[in-house]
């Protein structure tokens, strides 16, 4: 009975109260916890060094620094926001960064049925008209079927064709498309996608399912929105 009482009073009950009253509890304990962390820090370091020494004597490997879980980090962020150390928007952004490693491309991509694309056999006049209608700076280029994307057309490249005196009526989109397109699996994490975008210096990728079929498009803007929230521009209002 004594052990059950200890468990209820020190483990289950405090956690239940904190879960159902997270904001109030965090506001109440943030300053005492911060003070205790400062006071007990030297003690914690001594205990850590003693533990590491004992592990070495036993021939075991230990962590040189204490392990902080994602939930603990989020709790610290919440406390920092309540104490005024960081703004709420900053807290949200940091939490979003923590979460994108568990977010998959399929969750943020634009499905193929909603993708604005253009046939490689279309003329640059057609591409220009598409840009007037949608004003996308990058458009997937396909051959025969929209799920057969072969490259990406850039609206800025239209200026190069005009400056070179090329006829927009006779020039084909396929001739100006950047090939090949960059393909990624829909199971890739958004965190890894962001890294690949940075390394490859691209802003758009074609998303493939496990069978190799095209299922959508993902852009750098999609990834950034996962961190900073929805980005509205003049095209979103149309």
pLDDT confidence band for 12 (50 / 70 / 90): low
Q: What is the C-alpha separation between 36 and 115, in angstroms, rounded?
A: 54
The pLDDT assigned to 154 comes to: 92
For 105-228, CATH number out of 3.90.1150.10, 3.10.580.10, 3.90.780.10, 3.40.50.970 equals 3.10.580.10
Mean pLDDT to the nearest integer, 149-163: 86
pLDDT of residue 10: 67
| Pairwise pLDDT comparison (1 vs 120), residue with the higher score | 120
In angstroms, the CA 111 to CA 222 distance is 12
| 237 confidence band (pLDDT: 50, 70, 90) | very low
Contact 140, 93 (CB under 8 A): no
pLDDT at 20: 67
Long-range contacts of 99-102 (CB under 8 A, 24+ apart): 99/226, 100/189, 100/190, 100/191, 100/194, 100/223, 100/226, 100/227, 101/189, 101/190, 101/191, 102/189
- Which residue has better confidence, 169 or 23? 169
- Taking the domains of the chain in order of start, what are their residue ranges? 2-86, 105-228
Q: pLDDT digit string (tens) for 87-109?
A: 777 667 677 776 777 889 999 99
Q: Using an 8 Å Cβ cutoff, are 195 and 209 in contact?
A: no
Tell which wins on pLDDT, 1 or 110: 110
Q: Please state, rounded to an integer, the average pLDDT across all residues of the chain.
A: 79
- Residue 114: the pLDDT is 95
The answer to whether 130 and 116 are in contact (CB under 8 A) is yes
SS3 annotation, 72-88: HHHHHHHHHHHCCCCCH
């Amino acid at each position: 009975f004594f052990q059950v009482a200890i468990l209820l009073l020190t483990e289950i009950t405090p956690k239940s109260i904190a879960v159902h009253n997270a904001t109030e509890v965090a506001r109440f304990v943030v300053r005492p916890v911060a003070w205790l962390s400062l006071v007990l820090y030297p003690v914690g370091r001594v205990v850590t060094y003693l533990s590491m020494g004992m592990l070495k004597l036993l021939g075991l490997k230990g962590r040189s620094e204490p392990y902080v879980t994602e939930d603990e980090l989020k709790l610290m962020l919440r406390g920092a926001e309540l104490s005024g150390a960081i703004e709420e928007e900053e807290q949200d952004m940091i939490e979003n960064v923590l979460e994108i490693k568990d977010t998959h491309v399929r969750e943020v991509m634009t499905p193929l049925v909603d993708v604005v694309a253009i046939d490689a056999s279309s003329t640059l006049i057609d591409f220009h008209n598409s840009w007037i209608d949608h004003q996308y700076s990058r458009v997937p280029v396909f051959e025969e079927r929209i799920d057969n994307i072969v490259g990406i057309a850039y609206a800025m490249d239209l200026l190069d064709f005009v400056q070179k005196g090329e006829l927009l009526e006779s020039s084909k989109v396929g001739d100006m498309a950047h090939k090949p397109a960059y393909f990624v699996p829909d199971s890739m994490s958004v965190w890894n996608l962001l890294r690949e975008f940075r390394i490859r210096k691209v802003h758009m990728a074609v998303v493939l399912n496990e069978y190799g079929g095209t299922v959508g498009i993902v852009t750098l803007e999609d990834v950034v929105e996962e961190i900073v929230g929805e980005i509205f521009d003049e095209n979103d209002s149309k």
